Amino acid sequence: YNKSHVLTRNTIERKYGILKRRFPCLSIGLNCNIERVPPIIIACCVLHNLCIRLDDLEPPADPQIEALVQQLELENDDVTPSFEISSRCPAGFAKRNVIVTNFFSG
């Protein structure tokens, strides 16, 4: 399960990286009303999929945008989530075991 999870996560993170390079606003952050965020993300995904269908080249990394993203990440390091994650959640472990049994067991 863990190996499959890691491989899947790596693939997804690489795809998110391509999406963020194509639409830097997703890396830098959207400065708009929260209700507008989901439609903007969906529009970026639709346009990204269209680019894939049309065999558009993957965008190269932009050093200026990467530097800005790193700066923003450093500024936001002090932000702590307003919720607590408990590693001792029986319902969560039970759900994980169901997933492992149904999808990853031989």
Does the pTM surpass 0.75? The reply is no
35-69 core/surface letters (b: 16 or more CB in 10 A; e: else): eeeeeeeeebeeebeebeeeeeeeeeeeeeeeeeb
Give the Cα-Cα-Cα angle 30, 21, 6 (nearest 5 degrees): 100
**In this structure, are residues 29 and 73 in contact, taking their beta carbons and an 8 Å threshold?**
no
**What does the mean pLDDT of the chain come to?**
82
Assigned token pair, 33: 């009303």
User: Over 70: is that where the pLDDT of 85 sits?
Assistant: no
> pLDDT tens, 58-68?
888 888 878 87
Return the pLDDT at 86.
Answer: 56
> pLDDT tens, 35-71?
999 999 999 999 999 999 999 998 888 888 788 777 7
Highest-confidence segment of 8-12, 49-53, 79-83, 97-101: 49-53
Highest-confidence segment of 44-53, 79-88, 95-104: 44-53
